[in-house]
Amino acid sequence: MSGFTRDTKRYGDRLVYEALGSKWGRYHGKHCGCGLNWVTAHAEPAGFTVVRQGNGWVALVGPGLTEGVDESTLTTNALWEAITGDPGAQDWYETVRITDRSEAAETTRKAEHDAYWAERRERAEAAKKSPATEAQLKYLNTLVSRVGRERFDAEYNKTVKGTDIAARDANERTQQALRRLTKAAARKLITALAGP
Ligand SMILES: [Zn+2]
C-alpha cells in the first residue's frame, strides 16, 4: 500500500513516502502518458529521491512531499504534480504509518511469523496422513476413465513411490487403490493426471 511511513530499520529517522508502482504508474499513464518511467522521467527530475525500492514499490523523499512539510497535513500533491503535470487536489490528510522496531515488537513479529509457518507445516503433515477426500476420489474416478488404465497405473505408482503407500497390485480394483491414497498423494495424482 502506498503511504507515508516511518520505519527506523529501513529508513533511519526519515519520513518517506512509499509509492506503489502499480498505483502511481496508473496515475502517470492516465494523466501524462509519455510512456516513460514515472520515477526517472518525472519524480527524480522534480527533486524527489528514491531512498529504497523493492518489488513494485519505491520509497521517496523530497520537497513538498516529505521535506518542508507539516506532518499534520500530509498530502501527495507535490508528487502528483510532478507525475501528472497537474496540481494535486488532495484535500484530505494522510497519517504516518509507523513500524515499531523495538525489541519487543520485533519479538512479537518473529513469534507470529514462526507460528504461521509451524501451522503450515502441521497442516502439510496432517495432509500426508489424512485420507483422500470424497471430492478428490470423485475427481480421480473421472480422471481414470479419461486417461485410461495404463496411464493411471503408471502415474499412481509414480505418485506413491517413496511414500508409505504401496504400489498398485495387479489384481487390486481401482476403487481399492484410490481408497489407499492419502489426501496429499491424491492431490499429487490429480495434478499428474489432469496435466497434459
Ligand atoms: Zn510522463
CA distance 135 to 131: 11
Express each pLDDT in 174-193 by its tens digit. Answer: 999 999 999 999 999 999 99
| End-to-end CA, the chain | 38
Cα 46 to averaged position of ligand 1 atoms, centre (Å) = 12
- Average pLDDT, integer, range 112-126: 89
Q: What does the mean pLDDT of the chain come to?
A: 92
> Given a cut of 90, is residue 101 above it in pLDDT?
no
Same domain flag for 88 and 8: yes
59 grid coordinates:
520509497
Distance 71 CA to ligand 1 centre (A): 28
pLDDT of 187 reads: 93
C-alpha cell at 81: 504534480
Q: Are residues 187 and 147 located together in one domain of the fold?
A: yes
> How remote is the CA of residue 155 from the centroid of ligand 1, in Å?
54
pLDDT at residue number 9: 87
Q: Which of 100, 120, 149 is the endpoint of a domain?
A: 100
The pTM score is 0.56
**Please, what's the largest Cα pairwise distance for the chain?**
81
Alpha helices in the chain (DSSP H): 8-11, 21-31, 38, 77-84, 103-129, 134-147, 149-160, 174-179, 183-194
Same domain? 125 vs 175: no
* Whether residues 14 and 96 fall in one domain: yes
Provide mean pLDDT across the span 62-72.
Answer: 95
